[in-house]
Structure 1
Amino acid sequence: MRPGPKGKVVSVTDGDTLLLDNGLTVRLIGLQAPKLPQGRENFTAWPKSDEAKARLEALTLGKAVEVRHGGETRDRHDRVLGQLFVPDTPELWVQRQLLAEGLARVYSFPDNRACLADLLAAESLARTMRLGIWADPYYTVRRADRPEALLARAGQYELVEGRVLLAEKAGGRVFLNFGRHWKTDFTAVIDARALGLFTATGLDPLALNGALVRIRGWVDDRDGPRIELTHPEQIEVLAAR
């Protein structure tokens, strides 16, 4: 990772965003904490959002921190993007700590994929131990063979597990079908622009026929529930066949 800005944390906005004394707003890349309304109308706070914010305050407020970049350095809101470290003894990696305590989920972008293996491992252990958010049904890992329940989660970021019934390429895109009826069953779709990233990491999505996988992303409703995949870390292969 590349060194980025340093500063002292003067306020915490929510479980993944904070403000430094140099005026920079930092968005912790690689995770998504439970969301707070932040002034949005008709927005209900996600479960554990207050706990996630309080924990980030306990870890960072009033402390000197360092940002390190592993991809894009700014988002469209001009927030600084990076992994956040508190250079105490021993050094604290804030993202990994929040994930290990079950106060966030791994959330990544195709242009910011550094450290994801370590972050996924921390999330996995917390989920297995049912820590934090993983004890709340709101964050349950959804089943791919229950498309009606997935449709009810359209517009939400979800983890979905199931066995790929058919992996096929059509029109430059790859479709991972989890049921026989593509108009109503759950599907994960890999856009042509993303296929190069899959090739670079050695993950051939067409080889996933029969594989048990975990998909993560935003659920939409287009010919049944669907998640768009933009980079390979959105797929975890749990069993090849």
Structure 2
Amino acid sequence: MLTSFGQAGAADCLAERQGEGRVAAVVDARSFRLDDGREIRLASIEREGTDRVSARAALSAIVTGRDVTLHGEDDTPDRYGRQSAFVFVAGSEHSVQGELLRRGEALLSGDISDKNCAAALAAAERAARDAKLGIWAETTAIKNAESPGDILAAMGHFTVVEGRVLSVRQAGAITYLNFGRNWTRDFAATISRRIIPAFENAGLGPKSLENRRIRVRGVVSSRGGPRIELLRVGQIEVLGGN
């Protein structure tokens, strides 16, 4: 059940208010249409794999027919005409994003700049993962970096991969976190030179990750072996020591 507003909710993901409305229909697992015609895309979460029926049903159960407020830094629609926002159902202290993550019906994208919001949503995802809810009930929810074929099967989809970084190498303007020895076959995460300083400032300099077990998330592509491009610090989670 959604509970009433409290200080915790106000401290988490309530950025500047960018509008309000009543939800008329759910479009897919992470977007819906208001009764005035605006299409809203839930910020900072991703669907897992293909558009799962259960994820769409979960969003529908939370928002359909409900009054909502929209919060964010910018209400400019994207090229598809969708407004990206953190969404709160009237009377709830948790964002819709947090509810979906808590139920295991979404993945955290890792693109949140506000630390309080990022921490709250990461905790929601972690709770679902620990309880093996929704997505996390599947043993394949987190791909093994040592199984490049399984990762390639998720080509074009947002995916979570876990493994040990065996080596860190730079080629031109790209740094590779290599999870295997064969660059034409094995999985690697890539970081562009221009954003290396952001990772270093967060204590995640590429060289410091060598021989560390980490979890990365992003859209899978293929350049020889499967790849995930790391654009933001939030896409990396260090899991333990050497």
Q: TM-score, normalised by structure 1?
A: 0.85
Structure 1 residue 4 corresponds to structure 2 residue 5: no
Instruction: Give the CA deviation at 1:108.
Output: 4.3
- Whichever residue aligns with residue 69 of structure 1, its letter is G
CA distance in 1, matches of 2:146, 2:73: 36
The DSSP-based 3-state class of the residue aligned with 1:239 is coil
Contact persistence 2:66–2:90 (CA under 8 A): no
Deviations 1:160-202 (A, max 9, x none): 1001111233312221011122222111100123324324434
4+ aligned runs moved over 6 Å, structure 1: none
Distance 1:133 1:190, change over 3 A: same
- Whichever residue aligns with residue 175 of structure 2, its letter is V
Structure 1 residue 54 corresponds to structure 2 residue 68: no
Distance 1:58 1:198, change over 3 A: same
- Shifted more, 118-127 versus 26-35: the winner is 26-35
Q: Unmatched 5+ residue regions in structure 1? A: 36-44
Please name the residue that 1:132 is paired with: 134
CA distance in 2, matches of 1:70, 1:197: 21
Distance 1:73 1:197, change over 3 A: farther
CA distance in 1, matches of 2:149, 2:59: 36
CA distance in 2, matches of 1:116, 1:130: 21
Structure 1 residue 85 corresponds to structure 2 residue 88: yes
Please name the residue that 2:37 is paired with: 23
Alignment RMSD, CA only? Answer: 2.1
- Whichever residue aligns with residue 105 of structure 2, its letter is L
Please name the residue that 1:119 is paired with: 121
CA distance in 2, matches of 1:240, 1:72: 41
Contact persistence 1:174–1:189 (CA under 8 A): yes
Q: TM-score, normalised by structure 2?
A: 0.84
Contact persistence 2:18–2:74 (CA under 8 A): no
Distance 1:24 1:161, change over 3 A: same
Instruction: Give the CA deviation at 1:228.
Output: 1.0
Please name the residue that 2:142 is paired with: 141
Structure 1 residue 192 corresponds to structure 2 residue 193: yes
Structure 1 residue 103 corresponds to structure 2 residue 105: yes
The DSSP-based 3-state class of the residue aligned with 2:239 is strand
The DSSP-based 3-state class of the residue aligned with 1:58 is helix
Distance 1:23 1:151, change over 3 A: closer
CA distance in 1, matches of 2:124, 2:183: 34
Distance 1:92 1:119, change over 3 A: closer
Contact persistence 2:18–2:75 (CA under 8 A): no
CA distance in 1, matches of 2:75, 2:223: 30
Distance 1:128 1:25, change over 3 A: same
CA distance in 2, matches of 1:72, 1:186: 37
Please name the residue that 1:207 is paired with: 208
CA distance in 2, matches of 1:91, 1:227: 34
- Shifted more, 70-79 versus 51-60: the winner is 70-79
Aligned partner (choices 74, 79, 84) of residue 77 of structure 2: 74
Q: Unmatched 5+ residue regions in structure 2? A: 1-14
Contact persistence 1:70–1:113 (CA under 8 A): no
